[in-house]
Structure 1
Amino acid sequence: MAGKQKPPVIVAELGRPETASETSARKARDSQLYRQRKTVNNLVLSLIVSLGLVLVIILAVPRGTGGWGDYSVNVAEAAAAASESTGVSLIVPEVPSSWKAKQAELRESGSGDITYWYVGYTTENGAYAAVLQSFTAEGAEVDATWINQQFEGLEPTGRETLGGVDWSVYDYPERNPDETNVLFGAEGTLSSTTALVFGTDTSAVLRTLTAAVGDADSRSRAATSTAHEEDQ
């Protein structure tokens, strides 16, 4: 006996059985939706895995107890190494142990005709202080325009003797330390080089630093003279 043919299923939203073309269209739509859901699920899974890897990397990176605030370079060692390449005795001023020397390196001006030894400090007060010792390969006088640029176009306000050196002083205490690097500055001649000192701490602190630069130059010249006498 032949089996009964199953009647087509009535689709609720149509109120009748699907046609062959409607069935094909429905299956194609369902297949597309499945693929889209699978793609989204894969993207979410990939994102979770990536975030997990990033977290693992972050946790794996070793961390010291200090940071930039505790970081300080050895100025004397850096000066000794740099002096070998320049033939110039580079200044190492004596500063309080609470100061942090953040940078101590040789630099060149934009035109490349001026080389300068740069030491940048964070003072005990959390302010900025810098010492620049500049010179040229030919021993010529350092360009006044470049010096003026370091002092942000300011004019000297007087002259003072600090640490046995005669300095042109730039005293501008009314300036905003958040908008300038020069509240106080000084320019003087050390041996055959031009020294600049400036920063955003008080003028008293920066005058002490300027005197320390002059004292360091005196010690350097005395040591050079002694070594020269011993060689003779």
Structure 2
Amino acid sequence: MSPQPRVVAELGRPETPQETADRKAESRRKHFANQTTFNLVIALIASLAVVLFLVIVVVRPDQQSAREPVDYAAAAADVQDQADAHLVVPALGEDWSANRADYSAPKGKPAVWRIGFITPGDQYIGLTQGIGADDGWVSDRLDDHNPTGSVKIDGVAWTVYDRRDADNPGNLAYSLAATVGGSRLVLSGSATPAEFRELATAALADAAASSPATTAPTGDAG
């Protein structure tokens, strides 16, 4: 005697063959759907892990190296004998740091000494010294922007280029330019005018220590 078909509680009667087939098909569909969702979650987690790895291994070291302090005084000493003038090495407090220092002497052009400073306010000021440079060289450094004023710092006239209200001025948001001895000094960056003044004062003091005549007022530079 064959067993009686199982009564399904929801139906109150045994399933028909078609209902049994439909139930099994729905069960398989749900199983595959759950498995697909699980696989998608695993794939998403794996993708996020790869992105996190790239951020830690690739991005962060680059950012840290950009802020890694540079001994600009030692860099200047290494190349001073190649220059025809004293390379300016401002003495600043411990809350200042440098992230670059390099010297270049392209043929037929002024030799250039550069230092990139991170200020106490965590902003940037680049010091660029053009040895034997002229007004055209200064204009090139400042993308031909027009001066907006002038200021005297320790008896030396500096031309001011204030572009802080411009759209995306970058590291030319504020600039100072002056003639010091046989060099042009250009300070440019995103720091406050007070921090620019502090750096300019230190640069002039270093120039004076190397040769007192270099700090005689020379008028506006630009």
Highest RCO, 1 vs 2 (Cα 8 Å, sep ≥ 6): 2
CA contact (8 A) 2:124 2:191 kept: yes
Q: What stretches of structure 1 of length at least 5 have no aligned partner?
A: 1-54, 137-141, 225-232
CA contact (8 A) 1:164 1:215 kept: no
Distance across 1 between alignment mates of 2:65 and 2:95: 14
CA contact (8 A) 2:83 2:111 kept: no
Select the structure of larger CA radius of gyration.
1
Cα displacement (A) at 1:201: 0.8
Among 186, 201, 209, the alignment partner of 2:199 is: 209
Cα displacement (A) at 1:152: 2.4
Cα displacement (A) at 1:84: 0.8
Distance across 2 between alignment mates of 1:223 and 1:214: 11
Cα displacement (A) at 1:86: 1.3
CA contact (8 A) 2:151 2:158 kept: yes
Among 165, 172, 186, the alignment partner of 2:163 is: 172
Distance across 1 between alignment mates of 2:143 and 2:213: 35
Distance across 2 between alignment mates of 1:135 and 1:70: 27
Map of 2:22 onto structure 1 = none
Instruction: Give the count of matched residue pairs.
Output: 157
What SS does the aligned partner of 1:67 have?
helix
TM-score computed with the length of structure 2 as normaliser: 0.61
Q: What stretches of structure 2 of length at least 5 have no aligned partner?
A: 1-52, 215-222
The Cα RMSD (Å) is: 3.0
Say whether residues 1:153 and 2:150 are aligned partners.
no
Distance across 2 between alignment mates of 1:102 and 1:148: 24
What SS does the aligned partner of 1:97 have?
coil
Matches within 5 A, 1:110-129: 112-129=108-125
TM-score computed with the length of structure 1 as normaliser: 0.59
Map of 1:130 onto structure 2 = 126
